[in-house]
Amino acid sequence: MAEHGEVRPFSNIIQAERRHSERVREEMARLGIEYSDTNPFLGNIAAPATMLEACQQGIDAEIENIALYDEILPTIADGQVKATLTDLQWASRERHLPAFQRCVDRGGEPGRGSGLGGGHGRNN
């Protein structure tokens, strides 16, 4: 967003990702798993040159996320963790991926309004 501004779908999705991170941190704390508050990748990945490229990268990332959840969910025994990760996969598949696809369909033009569900919904 520093490169292209606070535009949709990124402005909505970054808020959702913050909520997702908080849910994961809560589960880790519940299970006594330590985590770092620092992101080692922050500032180390160059922003795409265009919004269209950024949205395409978003599609690719969401597809990878969905596949990762498909791989790890069957291995999770804790019901609460499984429910949390299932909700996060749902958000990737049903909210984030379509938002990035709409952006690509618009040729990289930013969206208008608050987006599908206004950033609300099933634990977006």
Nearest to 76 by CA among 16, 27, 19: 27
Return the higher-pLDDT residue of 81 and 124. Answer: 81
Nearest to 95 by CA among 64, 122, 67: 122
Q: How confident is the model at residue 20 (pLDDT cuts 50, 70, 90)?
A: very high
- How far apart, in whole angstroms, are the C-alpha atoms of residue 108 and residue 83? 33
Cis peptide before 9 (omega within 30 of 0): yes
Q: How confident is the model at residue 83 (pLDDT cuts 50, 70, 90)?
A: very high
Domain map (residue ranges) of the chain: 1-35+66-108
- Tell me: the pLDDT tens digits for 32-75? 999 888 888 888 888 889 999 999 999 999 999 999 999 999 99
- How far apart, in whole angstroms, are the C-alpha atoms of residue 61 and residue 100? 10
- Tell me: the pLDDT tens digits for 87-107? 999 999 999 999 999 999 999
